[in-house]
Structure 1
């Protein structure tokens, strides 16, 4: 039907008897909701597949799934859409929203999938996101006292729609919350074992060959464990540029490429030590500062273990304790 024909039909409708009867009106909030979803879908990077997942009054509107390279990944997240005609940013480029029911926040926290609140600015046709579960954990005392969580949005958290960062990183970090907790729980054992190994093997006779395959296998185990803990705790295995390639070959071949000297061993220990220092700093920040109210309720034993982690490096520990017996020397 042409525009002219459509207008003609409208004129007929207006002059007919039926037009004298009331017709349903479309509420403003329905228009905003529809516009918000249209904008969100239009600006979301094409690698994300969007599915409707509305659950009335439960706080979930959409489900997204990463499909990079046109391959479905089964890596999914949940979206709660909020629309507004404009966002009243403060002078720091921040906006806080506190109108989410505590029951909804608690429901999000219990989800196995990542949950994001997406705030859509209708007038500017832009969308901004807030990470739900991490913010709930950081404000857990409010939730326990049945007070609303204050969800923070920032202007620089819009790139998830224009590219992959930082939303891509936040999405995969939220997916790793269980691994994140497992890494924190593992740190105490790792530090104890690594400090013992470091004490026995640090700065031995320069270029002499390491005299035990068992030591090399143990060193690799420390590297692998540190790498496994690093990603969920948003840090990285701190390897020198040359050793990144060596470690990659080491993993692929399951044997050290070449001959390892005592000096090589010392360099690898330095790199693990630097990584461990970062991991411990991160764990203490999470458990003892940012999420302290959450962990004080969830796992008091873990709080104690993290508090007791040594803040000094393995190298400092070795310098102080060289006089102790060497369990690795044969």
Structure 2
């Protein structure tokens, strides 16, 4: 979908397809720059300058994920950078509101025929789900102690006891919170989906009234403890990579995350 000359800072929109080549309804906005040949720096990066700070502000606030794409016409190659993710990693320069340059890596940002579409979809998902990720991260951090207490409480109970309604509601909320953050941070884990876990419980206990039993929680408690540590490590790395953004936007969260110990011990002030 092309954009008219009156539009500001966006050349076109593209609709994403899934791995089965089916349209998804997800739109990405594209700013395209074309070069006869890309003159790479010694470190295999390309610096894109002369973009107005007002344009970067527009891209940063744009409701649709924005990508800056550069083509090498001679080699028929394309490279791309996720605008909002790049801004967050270089937020202090952006916040000065003077000049702001973008950088593209020859090795990391290449859109090739084999892996380019998957890489683009992945970076799109990071941008599109970013606000939700920040909310889920705050939920995780503020509830982590309760999560750990819940996991401890359900480690040694009678396996044949059903999970009562209020505990099941909490468990499902914990489950979704963990799963979303793990998926966003690309963390692998062996925990079954909630649907699979309930189906497995039904097959074992043959009960249509209760959805889960203590037996089911006991089987995944240790996996959740291990996943907690992986998520904490992932969040610490994420916050450190976006240090400038978090120090500017939420210094309290930055200090809290960086002071969580690698063993999962939470800071107490």
TM-score interval (norm. to shorter): 0.7 to 0.9
**Partners of 1:57 and 1:103 in 2: CA distance:** 14
How much has 1:131 moved relative to structure 2? 1.2
Q: 2:197 aligns with which of 211, 227, 250?
A: 250
- 1:187 maps to 140
- 2:176 maps to 224
CA contact (8 A) 1:209 1:261 kept: yes
User: Scaled by the length of structure 1, what TM-score is found?
Assistant: 0.66
Offset from partner CA, 1:78-122 (integer Å, 9 cap, x none): 101111111122455432323322221111111111111110001
C-alpha change, 1:89 and 1:59, in structure 2 (3 Å) is same
> Aligned residue pairs: how many?
255
Offset from partner CA, 1:35-88 (integer Å, 9 cap, x none): xxxxxxxxxxxxxxxx11245583210101124456543210110111111112
SS of corresponding position for 2:11: strand
- 1:169 maps to 122
SS of corresponding position for 1:235: coil
User: Scaled by the length of structure 2, what TM-score is found?
Assistant: 0.80
Offset from partner CA, 1:251-296 (integer Å, 9 cap, x none): 5x59654258877644411211222222222222333x22222223
How much has 1:237 moved relative to structure 2? 5.7
Aligned-pair RMSD on alpha carbons? Answer: 3.1
CA contact (8 A) 2:136 2:177 kept: no
**Partners of 2:188 and 2:128 in 1: CA distance:** 20
Contiguous gaps of at least 5 residues in structure 1:
1-50, 318-330
**Partners of 1:190 and 1:171 in 2: CA distance:** 28
Higher helix share: 1
Offset from partner CA, 1:150-201 (integer Å, 9 cap, x none): 3223244333655522112111221111112112211223311111113323
Contiguous gaps of at least 5 residues in structure 2:
206-211
The structure with the larger Rg is 1
Of stretches 82-91 and 166-175 in structure 1, the one that deviates more from structure 2 is 82-91
SS of corresponding position for 1:52: coil
**Partners of 1:210 and 1:88 in 2: CA distance:** 68
CA contact (8 A) 1:222 1:272 kept: no
CA contact (8 A) 2:16 2:24 kept: yes
SS of corresponding position for 1:173: helix
C-alpha change, 1:98 and 1:133, in structure 2 (3 Å) is same
Q: 1:213 aligns with which of 163, 174, 181?
A: 163
- 1:295 maps to 246
**Partners of 2:88 and 2:17 in 1: CA distance:** 29
**Partners of 2:253 and 2:264 in 1: CA distance:** 21
**Partners of 1:74 and 1:160 in 2: CA distance:** 23
